[in-house]
Chains A and B, each alone.
Chain A
């Protein structure tokens, strides 16, 4: 407290806390009263300072201790709210970001899906239904078209000896003479194909969206333009089926079908369904035609019966010298052979002097009798 001995101005006293508490609170811990009385000069300064302090009273805060405690409680709850708020806003920030992210992803996905759908849809509406006409227009070989408007299946013999049993309301386009290294025919509707074997010249059946490739075999193709499915059913040999390049250039998926296997191509979604057991498929089992049910495995069978089988199978008329051939019996396998091959084999088996002539559904056999 020796500091106060150096005080020369009122300000020095005014800012002295101890002095303040002596004047205003009447708490004289430092002996101000005695100290003041030590000097007259000092007493005058102290008096002035005192007067000034007394004139500078600040209104007491009307806050009681309980007011302050309540204010403290209020403050704590404010703090709690603020901390929750800042946590919340942090959370909601990240939630907002996350939401943005997922919204973005979702939007992108939706956009992508729509694009794909739109693309596919547009692309497919152009190409999905590959019609017989388009296929024909693609070919520049100068095709012959055969239409079966009758109510009976019709036999068509191709230049390579292959035969096609064309069902009613079906069309087949084929070149008069197969040239090049491929044999291509175009089918609308249903046909049973028996292809003469020629490994060097694969045989292709174009039917709507699918292409069936064979070397030599018998199979049925059902491809009506107004039906949802395209079917291929194999009787003998081996065939490969793929979709037409016009619908998918990249998709070179080939499906191999073995005897008594079938394939159903769903045109809407361009899907191949392989049917390994045709007897289990009601639709296929019911639609089996004569030719597929008939057996061409003959062992010591009269020629007349063989011709009858062929007539039934191909719905043809066979005119043959009944008397001359009535005692002729044959053991032969005619499965997996086209009609002309069958006839050739039969004729050859009967004897050297036997031949056949085919004119539409009319087949004429000339023979001098069996050996």
Chain B
């Protein structure tokens, strides 16, 4: 969804990754420019300390270059990067709350609030209302469901990748997504018909 994706689309991730492993600085820089902003915004959704998130993302890239020889040759680069950032931020939390014994990434909550693409809604008022209502429902979902949705629909990860990232099995990841949407749809179907009823009655 970032324009930068289109800029470098001539090289796919895995080509750049392979070159990077060979020590190609240009490929490293291209991957960095391709994913940096995405990773920062994901990081920001995990940590309230935004000033530290960029540091974390840069550290992830630093390690990738420094330890490029021991990198896995075949990875889904984006999933790898997102996962690395997540771990890095979890570690940041660990360090900051050393007495809380937060040892795994479960402890980090997805803080992001979804918002509404107002500029894109050139529809009628009812649609705007509907979208606003949906947004509210989405934001009321438990953080892990929200994060699963985010990773699925914003970062384009597969269910497997999400399961791996969130350190759960495939079924759990799938459930996270499904339950999120199910709850959403149930809510929205019932209340939307009511909403429609109300709105139609107002006409």
Contact = CB atoms under 8 A, between A and B. Distances in A.
B33 A51 contact: no
Nearest to B156: A17
Q: Is the interface of B mostly helix, strand, loop or mixed?
A: helix
Interface in B80-115: 112, 114-115
A58 interface: yes
B29 A72 contact: yes
Given A11-B181, A79-B66, 4 more contacts: A53-B153, A55-B133, A61-B37, A72-B29
A59 B127 contact: no
A152 to B, nearest CB: 96
A10 B131 contact: no
A61 B45 CA distance: 11
Interface string A1-39: 000000000110011010011011110000000000000
Interface residues of A, number: 34
B177 interface: yes
A79 B117 contact: no
Instruction: In the A-B complex, list the 7 residue pairs whose CB atoms are closest, starting with the nearest.
Output: A55-B134, A55-B135, A61-B37, A61-B41, A57-B117, A78-B62, A75-B58
B54 A58 contact: no
A63 interface: yes
A176 B33 CA distance: 113
A24 B1 contact: yes
Contacts of A282: none
A295 to B, nearest CB: 96
Contacts of B32: 68, 71-72, 75
A207 B53 CA distance: 91
Q: Is the interface of A mostly helix, strand, loop or mixed?
A: helix
Contact of B131 (A15, A51, A69, A86): A51
Interface in A37-70: 51-61, 63, 68-69
Interface centre among A11, A15, A57 (most CB of B within 10 A): A57
Interface of B: 1-2, 4, 29, 32-33, 36-38, 40-41, 44-45, 54, 57-59, 61-62, 65-66, 112, 114-117, 120-121, 127, 130-135, 137-138, 149-150, 152-154, 156, 177, 181, 184-185
A83 interface: yes
Contacts of A82: 62, 66
Contacts of A86: 66
Contact of A71 (B36, B66, B137): B36
Contacts of A25: 1
B114 A57 contact: yes
B59 A78 contact: yes
A54 B40 contact: no
A74 interface: yes
B131 A54 contact: yes
B156 A15 contact: yes
A55 B131 contact: yes
A17 B6 CA distance: 12
A15 B153 contact: yes
A28 B184 CA distance: 27
